Structure 1
């Protein structure tokens, strides 16, 4: 975490950060669909993140 980052303390905050990250990547031409390995060294857990595009419904903003 850099000094400018605010710690995440809720799932809602995590969701907002993920949404912003994916939107920035998409707007810059990256294909964000697929699987991503997140390796974090020996002191932290590793994660496998899978991103899929979902169909919008009428109430989507």
Structure 2
């Protein structure tokens, strides 16, 4: 985390950050669908993230 970043302290904030990241990537021509390994060194857990596009419904924001 850089000094400009604010800490994520809730699932809602995590969701907001993920949405913003995915949108920025999509708008810059990156295919965001698929699997991503997030390796974080020995002191933190690793994660596997799967991104899939979902069909919009009438209530989508």
The TM-score with structure 1 as length reference comes to: 0.98
Shift of residue 49, structure 1, vs aligned partner? 0.2
Across the aligned residues of Structure 1 and Structure 2, the Cα RMSD in angstroms comes to: 0.4
| 1:44 is the counterpart of 2:44 | yes
The TM-score with structure 2 as length reference comes to: 0.98
Unpaired runs of 5+ residues, structure 2, are none
Shift of residue 48, structure 1, vs aligned partner? 0.2
Q: What CA distance in whole angstroms lies between the structure 2 residues aligned with 1:43 and 1:2?
A: 18
User: How many residue pairs are counted as aligned between the two chains?
Assistant: 61
Displaced runs of 4 or more, over 3 A: none
Unpaired runs of 5+ residues, structure 1, are none
Residue equivalent to 1:59: 59
